[in-house]
Amino acid sequence: MLLEYYRSNKPKSFSHYLNLSIQERARYFDTMQSLPPVIDILTYCLMPNHFHLLLRQNRESGIVRTVSNITNGYAKYFNSKYHRIGPLFQGPFKAVLIETEEQLVHVSRYIHLNPIISGAIDEKELFVYPWSSLPKYIGNSQSKWIETKTVLNNFPNQKAYQSFIRDQVSYGKELDKIKHLLMEEV
């Protein structure tokens, strides 16, 4: 549908087309890669029906713009692929300001435990789950775009972080079973 617009021979009132040469494209990407990042991705986990991100903002409005670009871009892709219209996500993203190092490490653990606590995967799959930054944290991934130092600086080594995660698996599962008794579901 979108391609039909751009490939149409009908005159448009206003259209902008851009196609960089291979040399220009390479120079453009080199320039973009040399710029400091707008955000750092500290932790992430993609779930079947939602995602979690732990981000550090490096420029004003960096998080809002990045999350907006991710959600809008994915919604456009999904709607195009499945021939649907309308919003894909419930509403604006929810954000929690991380104010302490302790909160930072616990939120990181919460994000990394999410697939197992929700029942999406088995416990044996947790440290190899490909849609999470956890493999990077324990040395099983070479992803260059995940910034792990901020969280891992709170632990003597990667094994200690792995234990920090593993030690809460059972507790997290039990808490998830009773959370409906503790608070009203939204």
172 domain residue, yes or no: yes
166 domain residue, yes or no: yes
Tally the domains of the chain. 1
113 domain residue, yes or no: yes
76 domain residue, yes or no: no
The residues facing 45 across adjacent strands are 52, 132
What gap in Å lies between CA 112 and CA 44, rounded to an integer? 7
- Of the candidates 133, 111, 139, the residue with the CA atom closest to the CA atom of residue 40: 133
The residues facing 51 across adjacent strands are 46
132-137-143-147 Cα dihedral, nearest 10 degrees: 100
The reported pTM is 0.75
- Domain carrying residue 145: 40-59+96-182
- How far CA 107 is from CA of 31, 43, 113, in Å, comes to 34, 9, 10
82 domain residue, yes or no: no
Residues 6+ apart with CB under 8 A from 37: 58
Contact 43, 51 (CB under 8 A): no
32 domain residue, yes or no: no
For residue 53, report the phi and psi dihedrals to the nearest 5 degrees.
-135, 135
* Tens of pLDDT, residue by residue, the chain (186 residues): 444 544 555 555 565 566 667 777 777 777 777 777 889 999 999 999 889 999 999 989 888 998 899 899 999 999 999 999 999 888 888 888 999 999 999 999 999 999 998 889 998 999 999 999 999 999 999 888 999 999 999 999 999 999 999 998 877 777 676 665 655 554
158 domain residue, yes or no: yes
116 domain residue, yes or no: yes
